[in-house]
Amino acid sequence: MRNTAICFAALMLYPASAFAQEAPVHLKVQVVLIDKDLNLKPVPKFSFTLQKQPAGAAAPIALKTGLDGIVEADVPAGRYQLLTPEPVEFQGKKYSWKLELSLAPPGQTLDLSNDNAVIVPVTAPAAEGGGELTALFERLKNAVVTVRAEGGEGSGFLVDADGLVLTNAHVVERSPYLAVQFDERHKVQAQLLASDPDKDLAVLRVNLSAFPGAVIAPLAHAPAGKAPVVEGQRVFTIGSPFGKEKTLTMGVVSKIEEHEIYSDISVNPGNSGGPLFDYQGLVVGITAARQERLSRIIRIEDAQPIFAQARAKMAGQAPPSSVLLPVEPSDWFPVEPMKAILLGAAPDANDYSFGEGDFKVWILTPPLRFWLEHEEQLKAARKKAKRTGGNEQAENAELLQEAQHYKPVITIRAVPEFSQMFKIKFKTDFSRMRLLCDGKEIPPIHPGRFKMYLLNLKREVTDTSFGGSFTYPYDSIPASCNAVSLEIYSEKNPQEPLVHPVDAAILAHVRADFEPYRRLHSPK
């Protein structure tokens, strides 16, 4: 879950010292804006002036931020007016500042942010190559795909008619399951052709016959030794941040280095591996989500060697299957069952779980997931309402908003148990699982694995393992199934599964939970 608590340093004024000759003030100014996803974005190369008061008492002092959005300088003490000759444009708005300051030794820190800026909305800029940005997005969005791997998802884009997809290596590394999703209805198997972890690049191949609307992203070609963009140039990306597919984000190039482009553009989890476009619609780089204020984008020319490797490997090979894979529903689970939980009708997780070998397994429905994910908050709200005589529903208003964003899917989660006999450690590692109806496998929407950690009292990692989380369509276990079973494979015995017949009582709870959704979608 994203952390939305954003704090800015307060303006600190120091009392004047009684020196015979007044000491200068060490001033530190940081220019930081908050984007629409509540990320902090420094403003690099931003110019402003300090005019000593009264006006004309001294020449203006010109300052300019570095790549980190910070500038430091020693200035005489006194009263100043901070002015920004040119506003900075950021996500469809113009930001400028006009502040009165009183500077006194020894130093002072000042944040220029959304909180103290003059903000004016602007219209989206016209694309430099003709046409509007909206038209560019409509033309290029089908060149961008969501790359789904066992450990999560990222973005990618089509680079030629043979179905080559460029993405980040860290998105697909060590994943036996790879798929590419073109839109909400079209998802196919993908094949890894080449990977370069040092450059964080990978090339996949898909069968484009599965998606007739596919578009090839045009790549920028700059002269040898030249970058495909310049500092200050506008750029945009299309990707899947936080699972929101086909999302457009704009920014400005801040700095160019030999292998990387720096920009203030937002590159969040799910955006990794997406294309960075210029305003002519040409791909100039590949985005990579990293925990840094300025996004670092891999220059497109660095991908040429891995393209050559991929084309050499696919020579003479048939493309992957064009059979469409199951996709997540586009609608949402109804909120009424969650409202019932908010009013006290909580499910019992034991009614949905069982043990098999060294694994603990849960068959999760949207109401059960909602309860497990918010159990502590709900209990705390109930206690507060009793203590203060307040309204419990008012305390849960924020949770009710979250309750409206659950997909109508079944999630089967299998986690290894741990031993406490001599040393606390995991008993096994999850490899994969199969859900069967009358002996026939039910294909999952997404087969996922996640890393698990055991910590001691000092919060040190003492052991690691893998758990499994497989997502299935809500109707994947119909009442017509005479026998439902689950096969769980461990890394120790990858060919010998643990087989568990799923109890009829658990299946009855699962089907009952989805009844409100079925009623909404039954023929009238």
CATH classification of the domain holding 61? 2.60.40.10
How many CB atoms are closer than 10 A to CB 111? 17
pLDDT at 13 over 50: no
Helix axes 366-388, 504-513, angle to 10 degrees: 70
Dihedral sign for Cα 69, 74, 80, 83, please.
Answer: negative
For the CA atoms of the chain, what is the radius of gyration?
28
Query: What does the alpha-carbon distance between residue 141 and residue 189 come to, in Å, rounded to a whole number?
Result: 20
- Residue 329 is assigned to a structural domain of this protein: no
Query: What does the alpha-carbon distance between residue 12 and residue 106 come to, in Å, rounded to a whole number?
Result: 11
How many CB atoms are closer than 10 A to CB 456? 10
Highest mean pLDDT among 39-48, 96-105, 203-212, 238-247: 203-212
Do both 188 and 232 map to the same domain? yes
The number of residues in the chain equals: 524
Q: Answer with the residue of higher pLDDT: 123 or 195.
A: 195
Q: Answer with the residue of higher pLDDT: 306 or 44.
A: 306
Which residue, chain included where needed, has tokens 């009623």? 519
Model confidence at 122, pLDDT cuts 50, 70, 90, reads low
Query: Tens of pLDDT along 198-229?
Result: 999 999 999 999 999 999 999 998 777 788 88
pLDDT at 85 over 60: yes
Over range 105-109, report the average pLDDT. Answer: 89
Query: What does the alpha-carbon distance between residue 287 and residue 430 come to, in Å, rounded to a whole number?
Result: 31
The answer to whether the pTM exceeds 0.85 is no
Over range 302-330, report the average pLDDT. Answer: 93
pLDDT at 271 over 90: no
pLDDT at 272 over 80: yes
Q: Answer with the residue of higher pLDDT: 115 or 294.
A: 115
At residue 110, the pLDDT reads 92
Query: What does the alpha-carbon distance between residue 24 and residue 18 come to, in Å, rounded to a whole number?
Result: 13
At residue 18, the pLDDT reads 33
Over range 407-411, report the average pLDDT. Answer: 96
- Residue 128 is assigned to a structural domain of this protein: no
What 3-state class would DSSP assign to 281? coil
Do both 93 and 167 map to the same domain? no
CA 520 to chain CA centroid, nearest Å: 31
Do both 297 and 341 map to the same domain? no
Do both 351 and 489 map to the same domain? yes
Query: What does the alpha-carbon distance between residue 173 and residue 410 come to, in Å, rounded to a whole number?
Result: 26
pLDDT at 12 over 70: no
Query: Tens of pLDDT along 372-401?
Result: 998 888 888 778 777 877 666 666 777 888
- Residue 204 is assigned to a structural domain of this protein: yes
How many CB atoms are closer than 10 A to CB 204? 28
How many CB atoms are closer than 10 A to CB 418? 17
pLDDT at 8 over 70: no
Query: Which secondary-structure segment (H or E) carries 394?
Result: helix 392-395
At residue 266, the pLDDT reads 79
pLDDT at 501 over 90: yes
As a dihedral over the C-alpha atoms of residue 163, residue 164, residue 165, residue 167, rounded to 10 degrees, the angle is 170
Quick check: 331 and 408 in contact, CB under 8 A?
Answer: yes
At residue 52, the pLDDT reads 86
Q: Answer with the residue of higher pLDDT: 93 or 472.
A: 472
Which residue, chain included where needed, has tokens 């789904």? 148
At residue 395, the pLDDT reads 62
pLDDT > 70 in the chain, percent? 89
Over range 457-484, report the average pLDDT. Answer: 92
Quick check: 47 and 62 in contact, CB under 8 A?
Answer: yes
The mean pLDDT value of the chain amounts to: 86
Do both 407 and 293 map to the same domain? no
How many CB atoms are closer than 10 A to CB 19? 9
Do both 307 and 375 map to the same domain? no
Instruction: Give the CATH number of the domain where residue 214 resides.
Output: 2.40.10.120
Query: Tens of pLDDT along 342-371?
Result: 888 889 999 999 999 999 999 999 999 999
At residue 377, the pLDDT reads 85
Over range 237-263, report the average pLDDT. Answer: 86
* Residue 223: CA count within 13 A, CB half-sphere: 1
Do both 451 and 503 map to the same domain? yes
Per the structure, the complete domain to which residue 232 belongs is given by 133-314
Do both 484 and 342 map to the same domain? yes
Query: What does the alpha-carbon distance between residue 9 and residue 11 come to, in Å, rounded to a whole number?
Result: 7
Q: Assign 3-state DSSP to the chain and report helix, strand, coil percentages, each to 5.
A: 20, 35, 45
At residue 393, the pLDDT reads 65
The single-letter code of the amino acid at 167 is T
At residue 187, the pLDDT reads 96
- Residue 126 is assigned to a structural domain of this protein: no
At residue 16, the pLDDT reads 33
At residue 386, the pLDDT reads 79
Distances 134 to 128, 178, 376 between C-alpha atoms, Å: 13, 31, 44
Query: What does the alpha-carbon distance between residue 502 and residue 354 come to, in Å, rounded to a whole number?
Result: 9
Do both 344 and 310 map to the same domain? no
At residue 400, the pLDDT reads 82
Quick check: 426 and 463 in contact, CB under 8 A?
Answer: yes
Point out the least confidently predicted range of 8-12, 81-85, 224-228: 8-12
At residue 6, the pLDDT reads 30
pLDDT > 90 in the chain, percent? 53
Over range 461-486, report the average pLDDT. Answer: 93
Query: What does the alpha-carbon distance between residue 364 and residue 357 come to, in Å, rounded to a whole number?
Result: 20
Query: Which secondary-structure segment (H or E) carries 338?
Result: helix 336-342
In the DSSP assignment, the letter for residue 243 is G
At residue 303, the pLDDT reads 94
Do both 305 and 376 map to the same domain? no
At residue 421, the pLDDT reads 67
In angstroms, how far is the first alpha carbon of the chain from the final one?
39
Do both 31 and 144 map to the same domain? no
- Residue 4 is assigned to a structural domain of this protein: no
At residue 21, the pLDDT reads 44
Over range 297-312, report the average pLDDT. Answer: 94
pLDDT at 290 over 60: yes
pLDDT at 468 over 80: yes
- Residue 38 is assigned to a structural domain of this protein: yes
- Residue 17 is assigned to a structural domain of this protein: no
Do both 72 and 181 map to the same domain? no
- Residue 325 is assigned to a structural domain of this protein: no
Distances 322 to 177, 186, 216, 408, 442 between C-alpha atoms, Å: 16, 10, 18, 26, 19
Which residue, chain included where needed, has tokens 């089967």? 412
Query: What does the alpha-carbon distance between residue 511 and residue 515 come to, in Å, rounded to a whole number?
Result: 6
Query: Which secondary-structure segment (H or E) carries 165?
Result: strand 164-167
The single-letter code of the amino acid at 280 is Q
Angle at 68 between CA 63 and CA 69, to 5 degrees: 40
How many domains, in total, are found in the chain? 3
